[in-house]
Amino acid sequence: MARVYKYQDNVDTDVIIPARYLNEPDPAALARHCMEDIDQGFAAAVQPGDIIVAGFNFGCGSSREHAPVAIKACGVKCVIAKSFARIFYRNAINVGFPIMECMEAAEDIEAGDSIDVDFASGVITNNTKHKTYQAEAFPEFVNQIIAAGGLLNSLKNRA
């Protein structure tokens, strides 16, 4: 029973993990400051398996991979958004953190809803509202990276 944290459009990587913590290489330490500048209570409250739902252009701004790393290190299961900024999208795939692009789900799901996700099929189930949504499918090339457990693993497998 994942809990939902809901945010608006244009959640940028500066609020996901502020630059003042980028001198910190440890993912667990980054996690303690995750979402600090948009939702101060997030890092203390978030539980493994929780889900972030957001609007358009999630993860815009800086290329810092620390952003998906921090969210992943919090135990967040996935981010569902109407769209993702392109560098965040690449970074999430490359570090093996699941993201789902789904307009209807991102619009419909509310904070507190109980959500299940199936990455293989892209089906998002809203247990509270008794509804299902279909996320955008990844290109096959991207599926191969995800299946290998990230970009560097997929490169090593190929070598």
Q: Which residues contact another protein by CB under 8 A?
A: 10, 12, 14-15, 18-20, 22-25, 37-38, 56-57, 60-66, 69, 83, 85-87, 90-91, 94-95, 139, 141, 150-153, 155-156
Q: Which residue carries 């910190």 as its tokens?
A: 24
Q: Which is nearer to another protein, 48 or 141 (CB)?
A: 141
Q: Which is nearer to another protein, 94 or 132 (CB)?
A: 94
The tokens describing 148, both together, are 């290998």
Least gap, CB of 126 to another protein (angstroms) = 25
Least gap, CB of 57 to another protein (angstroms) = 4
Q: Which is nearer to another protein, 48 or 139 (CB)?
A: 139
Q: Which is nearer to another protein, 24 or 108 (CB)?
A: 24
What values do phi and psi take at 154, rounded to 5? Answer: -65, -35
**What residues contact residue 157 under an 8 Å CB cut-off, 6+ apart?**
148
Q: Closest by alpha carbon to 38, among 62, 17, 23?
A: 17
Enumerate the β-bridge partners of residue 52: 5, 79
What's at 52, amino acid-wise?
Answer: I
Q: Which is nearer to another protein, 95 or 102 (CB)?
A: 95
Least gap, CB of 13 to another protein (angstroms) = 8
Query: How large is the greatest C-alpha to C-alpha distance in the chain, in angstroms?
Result: 47
Q: With beta carbons less than 8 A apart as the criterion, state whether 125 and 105 touch.
A: no
Is residue 109 helix, strand or coil? Answer: coil
Least gap, CB of 105 to another protein (angstroms) = 18
Least gap, CB of 50 to another protein (angstroms) = 22
